[in-house]
């Protein structure tokens, strides 16, 4: 019935995906309400950062009905499949460290992804207080000579060297395990680890070992912006 269709359309709300856990998504609405959402069928072409239309299905829950056109898309692929990482990102921050040794191949692939996707790229050398970091920073001069930004920081002590590059950007932190991405996030967004734990418990995701993507809002206080 026409009336039924109109009612279904009006029940849809616009929001942005702020977390992706397998086939479960958290969608934040303009009023900061967060809905626990799924997609229709087995649709998997949804990414953290996507702006979407959601039909409410129950209190606090919804179904993603449509995805708005993307400005950018960060993904990785192999011979068998493509995995979406984040949408509408303006810059990629490649987090590396001297210990454990970072992969130059991974850095190169991330830079290629940034260039291909029309995103800025920044290489952040974390754990700069370690003795081994001097040699690592020297090896990164090659990228600086190519025009890429390189920042050295020790996230456990001070994240300010990174803050100047985050203002007015939507940034994706990428890098291999052990580089300190979680430490950076927890310093920039106090309480982030606690919120991730809460979400994992709510979605019963303790049994999942796959990676997930999460979008955080960075306020002026975290980086001492005026």
% residues pLDDT > 90 (the chain): 64
C-beta separation of 173 from 181 below 8 A? yes
pLDDT tens digits along 21-70: 888 999 999 999 999 999 988 777 899 999 999 999 999 999 999 999 99
Name 102's Cβ contacts closer than 8 Å, sequence gap at least 6.
96, 136, 175, 176, 179
Domain ranges of the chain: 2-67, 89-205
pLDDT confidence of residue 199: 54
Residue 7 has pLDDT above 60, yes or no: no
| Measured distance CA(134)–CA(139) in Å, rounded | 9
pLDDT confidence of residue 9: 44
Q: 96 pairs with which residues across the strands?
A: 125
> Which top CATH class is 2-67?
mainly beta
pLDDT confidence of residue 77: 78
pLDDT confidence of residue 143: 97
CATH superfamily ID and name for 89-205:
dip2346 domain like (3.10.630.10)
Q: Which of 15, 48, 52 is nearest to 31 (CA)?
A: 15
pLDDT confidence of residue 218: 87
Residue 83 has pLDDT above 80, yes or no: yes
The band of 224, judged by pLDDT with boundaries at 50, 70 and 90, is confident
pTM above 0.95, yes or no: no
Let me know if the fold of 2-67 is the same as that of 89-205: no
């Amino acid at each position: 019935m026409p009336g039924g269709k109109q009612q279904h359309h009006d029940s849809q709300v616009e929001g942005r995906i702020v977390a992706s856990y397998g086939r479960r998504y958290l969608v934040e609405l303009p009023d900061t309400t967060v809905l626990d959402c799924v997609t229709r069928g087995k649709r998997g072409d949804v990414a953290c950062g996507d702006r979407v239309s959601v039909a409410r299905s129950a209190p606090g829950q919804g179904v993603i009905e449509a995805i708005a056109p993307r400005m950018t898309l960060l993904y990785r692929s192999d011979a068998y499949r493509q995995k979406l990482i984040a949408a509408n990102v303006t810059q990629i921050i490649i987090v590396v460290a001297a210990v454990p040794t970072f992969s130059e191949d991974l850095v190169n692939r991330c830079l290629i992804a940034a260039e291909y996707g029309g995103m800025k790229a920044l290489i952040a050398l974390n754990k700069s207080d370690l003795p081994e970091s001097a040699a690592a920073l020297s090896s990164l001069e090659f990228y600086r000579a190519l025009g890429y930004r390189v920042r050295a920081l020790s996230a456990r002590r001070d994240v300010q060297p990174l803050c100047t590059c985050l203002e007015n950007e939507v940034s994706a932190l990428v890098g291999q395990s052990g580089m300190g991405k979680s430490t950076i996030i927890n310093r920039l967004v106090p309480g982030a680890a606690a919120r991730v734990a809460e979400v994992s418990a709510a979605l019963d995701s303790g049994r999942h070992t796959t990676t997930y993507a999460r979008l955080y809002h960075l306020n002026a206080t975290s980086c001492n912006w005026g």
